Structure 1
């Protein structure tokens, strides 16, 4: 009987942990839709036409968000060094997805500038083959001081980068700036 109770406790802990852990699942769906619209990655793309294609993707992205039920889902993160900002309220998530990377190495920076929520970050990449791989994870601590975390992602050329952040606090917020270049 004790073994059964112990096994049930372990199973409940495992299910509880899986339900609260952040992952890239929400971004994976949008990455797949982006690949459907984008087509195969072409490594010989020039930067100016590539930027024009990104604008097309943004228009398609907005269409997907408006017509595909993703209005509260992932947001586009361009790889131009410009900041996106946001606020993650207690126990909610925020996900960003990039267009396919033109560079082999990408520097992704997340700056927690306000709030004191403990917040988990998971970064994944997805190639045209549909395989999603986790590249990094980090947890911002529960404190008031601003923190900046830089992720140097390697071997990401032609891949979509997915950044999933989950506030693990009930009543605290996580205000951030994120950029990729």
Structure 2
């Protein structure tokens, strides 16, 4: 009896850990595709082709999913301080990816303005050399109080930054605004 309880407890822990784990996988895939498309990072790297491709993909996706409510995977996050906003429900995740950074320091701000969901955040950098590094992790608590968290990232010049947020709640929402500058 004791042995079967321990086995069940270990299995439940392993399942809950893998369901809740934060990582950089989605951002890494999009970063690799970006590097494939645009080659090595250079100080005179132009963001125009990158932004045009992203806009083309967004328009096509919105046309296909206009009546289905479907969400595309990783989303583009400008580094101009403009806000992106949304809602993450029931153990789903949202990933944002920036263009290669022209600055050594980037500030990411996430504002949880509504919802009760405990939500994990992981911020990673992706270099042209294929190296992915976890820079920051944070968990927004399960409460109704709004909270703003500012992450200051250093050493990111010439790297793509990804921000993955995962709702750890089954029934609660996490409403957010995010920006990078």
**TM-score, scaled to structure 2:** 0.84
Cα 1:144/1:63, change in 2 over 3 Å: closer
| Runs of 4+ with >3 A deviation | 2-12, 59-66
Q: How does 1:1-181 map to 2 (within 5 A)?
A: 10=10, 13-42=13-42, 44-45=43-44, 50-59=46-55, 62=58, 72-181=72-181
Gaps of 5+ in 1: none
Displacement of 1:123: 0.4
Contact 1:85 1:178 in 2 (8 A): yes
Q: Cα deviation per residue 1:100-129 (whole Å; 9 max; x = unaligned)?
A: 011000000000001111000000000001
Structure 2 distance, partners of 1:80, 1:64, is 24
In angstroms, what is the RMSD of aligned CA positions? 2.5
Structure 1 distance, partners of 2:126, 2:3, is 41
**TM-score, scaled to structure 1:** 0.84
Contact 2:47 2:99 in 1 (8 A): no
Residue range with higher mean Cα deviation, 53-62 or 99-108: 53-62
Cα 1:20/1:125, change in 2 over 3 Å: same
Gaps of 5+ in 2: 63-69
Q: Cα deviation per residue 1:66-120 (whole Å; 9 max; x = unaligned)?
A: 9xxx962000001000000010011110000011011000000000001111000
Q: Cα deviation per residue 1:125-152 (whole Å; 9 max; x = unaligned)?
A: 0000111100000000011110000000
Contact 1:87 1:176 in 2 (8 A): yes
